[in-house]
Structure 1
C-alpha cells in the first residue's frame, strides 16, 4: 500500500484529499461491507460519499451494467437512447415538477453547473442567491456559489453571488430563536437582501447541507422563501445531489419538507441514483429547460451503461421501499447515537434525518469546533472496522454517517457500537 500511496502522490494533485494517515485501497464490496487490499473488512457508513445508495455489488445493477455493456457502451446524445428515455420518464414522474424535462450529466457538479446556466439564461441575469455554509461542486461556477471557503479555492467568479441565512439551525445569530422565529428572521434577511439588488436569477439551496455537516433549517423555510422569490420572479433550484432518492426517510426529495408552495423550478440530482456509476442530472419544467437558444449535447451524459444502472437501481430502491427502511433504521440509529453522544462531552449535537446523520464535535465545555478530534475519531473508527465521513462548515468537525439505504437493524447497532468505541477512545 505504501508503494501505491507513493505513486498516487507522484502523479496526482496535492489538493486531492485522502482519508486516513495510512490511506487504504478498497478492492471490493458486498452489501454494506467493503474490503481493503490488506484483507481488512469494514462496515461502510459513508458509501463513497453517499453514492453507493442501495448496496455494494447489488446483483440487479451489476447484471444491468454487464448486459448493456455487452450490447453498446457509448453512442452520445446525438442518437436515440432507450435506457436514457426510460430513466428520464421515471425521474420526471417522481420529481413532482409539472411538464418536466430531464437532462443527464456525469456528476452533481455538472448538474448544478447546468442548473445555473439554465437559470441565468432564463432570467437574463448572473446574480445568484446561495446559502451560507453551502457546497455545490468543484466547477468554476459551482465553486462561486459555494458558501464554505474550505471548498472554494478562488474568489473569481462568473456569477455575482449573495449569501442568505438559514442553512444552519443551531449556530449563528438566529440560533436561539424558536423555529417560527428563525424562519421569520431568515425571511426578513432575504427580503432585506433583495432590497439592495435587482434581477436575481435564482436561489440555489441544499435542503440538507451535505459537506456543511448535514445541517438543515426548520421545515418550511424554503416554502417561506418561495413566497418572496415568486414575487420577484426568482427561480428556486433545489440541490438534491445528497438528499434525493429517499435518503432522509421522511420524503423522497429533500424539498418536500418545504413543499407548501409546490416543487422547485429546477431540481438537480446525482450520486445515489447510479449506485456508483457516474450519473448526474437536472429536472426543470419545459419552459425553463428549453430556454437555451444555442445548440447543446452531452458526449457522456446519459451513457447507455450508466442509464441501465440507474433504471435497475431506481427499480430496486422503489420495489424494496428503501426510503421506508431509511426512515425506520435511520430513526433507530440516530436515537442510539444521541444516547451515546449524551455521555461523551465532546459531542455537541447529533442531528439528521433518515440515513443522513451528523455528529458535531467540540472542545468539551465550549462551543468551539474540534476538527482534530473529528480526524482522530475517523482514524479510530477505521481501526475498529467502520468507515465514516467528515465535514462541517469551515472546520470539518462533524462526523458524517450515510450508509447504504438497505442497512439492517443489526448493522446499525454494530456501527453505533463501533462508533461509540471510537468516540470514547479519543
Structure 2
C-alpha cells in the first residue's frame, strides 16, 4: 500500500470509490496522455469521467485561466460578470431552446438539482418520471431519481419517482422487438402509467446513459415520449452532462437524435464544457427559468475563472470541429472493437456513438453480467498503459471508453490494440 493510499483511507469515506487494486495517482497530462507518480505514461480513454473533453494541458485553456487568475478569480453572482454573460450567450444560442436562459452551477449534480427545482415549481408537482438504469448525481434529490441501485444509497427522497422503460435497448421485456416496435411499446407503457397517476412535473432522461454503461434507446424514442408529455403539459429534461458538446459525433447534443418534435424544455450540462474546471449548468425557456418566486444566487457557479476556461474550451472545440473528429475517429474505433468482440463469446455488445463507447461483458453463453472480468480487463489495460472506465446497471460489467475529442486515428489504434490484448487475455 502506498503512503498516499494509506493516508486516503485514513481520512476519506469508505464509499469514495477508487479504480484498481493498486490505486493510481495521476500527476500531469498532455494531449490525450497522462503520467502517474512513478513516471509511467498512459493513453487516457476515460478523460476524468468524460470531463477532459478537448485535451490535457491545452495551451489555449491554460492561457485563458492564467490570464483570468491574474485579474480576478471570483466575485459571486451578486455582481455583473462578463465571462459568465459571454458563455451564457453562446450556450443559449447552441442549446436550440427558444428564448433561453442559462444558470451556471459547479457540477452536473447541482445542475440536475436545479432542473428538478424548476420543473417541480413550474408544474406544482413533486412527481418525476425517470428512466430505469439512469444516473443523475449524488445529491439527495438526484439520488432519489437515479434508476441504478448501485449508485442510489437511499430510497428516501423529496420526490415521488416513477420509472419508465426505454433507456436500455437490448435488455428488458421489449429487447426482442424491432426498433419501431420497441418505441411503440415504450410509448404505450408510458401512456398506461400516466393514466394511473396525477400528472408528473417532468421526465428526466440521459440521451445515452452514462454510468449505466453507455446504453441508449433507438433514435426517436424521446421525440415520441415528448408528444405524449406535451399533451399533458409535462416537461422534458435532457440530462446532457455526459452527452453534450459533440461527444456523440452525429450531434452536438444527445437530444438531437430525438429532435423530430423540437428541443427539450430544459437541458442540463457539465463535465466536458470546463475541460476539468468545475462548470455545470441549466438551460430553459425564460418562463420556466423565471418561475421561482424567491431570491437565489450562486457563490461559486459561474465564477470568472471557470467561465474563462469554458469560453476557451468551447471556442477550441468549435474551431477545430471536434464533433466531426468524434464522429470520424469514434466510428473507426467502434468498428475496430466490434471486430474484436465478434471473436469473444464473453463480449455481449459493443455500443455507443462517436467517442462514447461501451463494451458489455457477460459470462459466455449467458446474459449474466461479469463484473469480475470487467475489473480484470481494466487492470490488464492499465498494465499496458491504457486507462478505461467502468459502468452498467448490471454490476458494472461494462467498459466505458470516452477519450478527449481530439483523439487521433493513430491514438485510437494504439488504444484499440491494447484493449484487444486485454480482452483476449481476460475474456473467454
Q: Same fold judged by TM-score > 0.5?
A: yes
Report Cα offsets for 1:11-35 as digits up to 9, x if no partner: 0000000000000100000000000
Offset of 1:345 from its aligned partner?
Answer: 1.7
CA distance in 1, matches of 2:331, 2:304: 36
Give the corresponding residue for 1:306: 306
Provide the TM-score with structure 1 as the length reference: 1.00
CA distance in 2, matches of 1:159, 1:348: 35
Give the corresponding residue for 2:336: 336
Report Cα offsets for 1:34-76 as digits up to 9, x if no partner: 0000010000000000000000000000100000000001100
Please give the secondary structure, in 1, of the residue aligned with 2:145.
coil
Contact 1:248 1:326 in 2 (8 A): yes
Give the corresponding residue for 1:359: 359
Matches within 5 A, 1:100-111: 100-111=100-111
Q: How many residues align?
A: 426
Offset of 1:293 from its aligned partner?
Answer: 0.1
- 2:31 equivalent to 1:27: no
CA distance in 2, matches of 1:47, 1:30: 12
Offset of 1:199 from its aligned partner?
Answer: 2.4
Contact 2:355 2:403 in 1 (8 A): yes
Please give the secondary structure, in 2, of the residue aligned with 1:272.
helix
Matches within 5 A, 1:18-57: 18-57=18-57
Offset of 1:10 from its aligned partner?
Answer: 0.2
CA distance in 1, matches of 2:194, 2:103: 30
CA distance in 1, matches of 2:223, 2:424: 41
CA distance in 1, matches of 2:343, 2:22: 30
Give the corresponding residue for 1:409: 409
Offset of 1:202 from its aligned partner?
Answer: 0.2
Give the corresponding residue for 1:227: 227
Give the corresponding residue for 2:262: 262
Give the corresponding residue for 2:131: 131
Stretches of structure 2 that go unaligned for 5 or more consecutive residues are none
CA distance in 2, matches of 1:193, 1:147: 17
Matches within 5 A, 1:105-184: 105-184=105-184
CA distance in 2, matches of 1:295, 1:397: 44
Offset of 1:394 from its aligned partner?
Answer: 3.6
Give the corresponding residue for 1:278: 278
Give the corresponding residue for 1:215: 215
Give the corresponding residue for 1:326: 326
CA distance in 2, matches of 1:336, 1:344: 14
CA distance in 2, matches of 1:374, 1:230: 41
CA distance in 2, matches of 1:197, 1:348: 37
- 2:87 equivalent to 1:87: yes
Provide the TM-score with structure 2 as the length reference: 0.99
Give the corresponding residue for 2:398: 398
Give the corresponding residue for 1:243: 243
CA distance in 2, matches of 1:313, 1:18: 28
CA distance in 2, matches of 1:288, 1:121: 9
Contact 2:274 2:313 in 1 (8 A): yes
Offset of 1:367 from its aligned partner?
Answer: 1.0
Stretches of structure 1 that go unaligned for 5 or more consecutive residues are none
Contact 1:350 1:357 in 2 (8 A): yes
Matches within 5 A, 1:180-199: 180-199=180-199
Give the corresponding residue for 2:73: 73
How large is the RMSD of aligned CA atoms in angstroms? 0.5
Please give the secondary structure, in 1, of the residue aligned with 2:110.
helix
Please give the secondary structure, in 2, of the residue aligned with 1:345.
coil
Contact 2:347 2:360 in 1 (8 A): yes
Offset of 1:190 from its aligned partner?
Answer: 0.2
Report Cα offsets for 1:188-231 as digits up to 9, x if no partner: 00001001101210000000000000000000000000000001
Please give the secondary structure, in 1, of the residue aligned with 2:248.
coil
Contact 2:369 2:394 in 1 (8 A): no
Q: Which moved more, 1:365-374 or 1:92-101?
A: 365-374
Please give the secondary structure, in 2, of the residue aligned with 1:218.
coil
CA distance in 1, matches of 2:223, 2:271: 25
Please give the secondary structure, in 1, of the residue aligned with 2:306.
helix
Report Cα offsets for 1:231-287 as digits up to 9, x if no partner: 100000000000000000000000000000000000000000000000000000000
Please give the secondary structure, in 1, of the residue aligned with 2:79.
coil
CA distance in 2, matches of 1:4, 1:200: 47
Contact 1:143 1:152 in 2 (8 A): yes
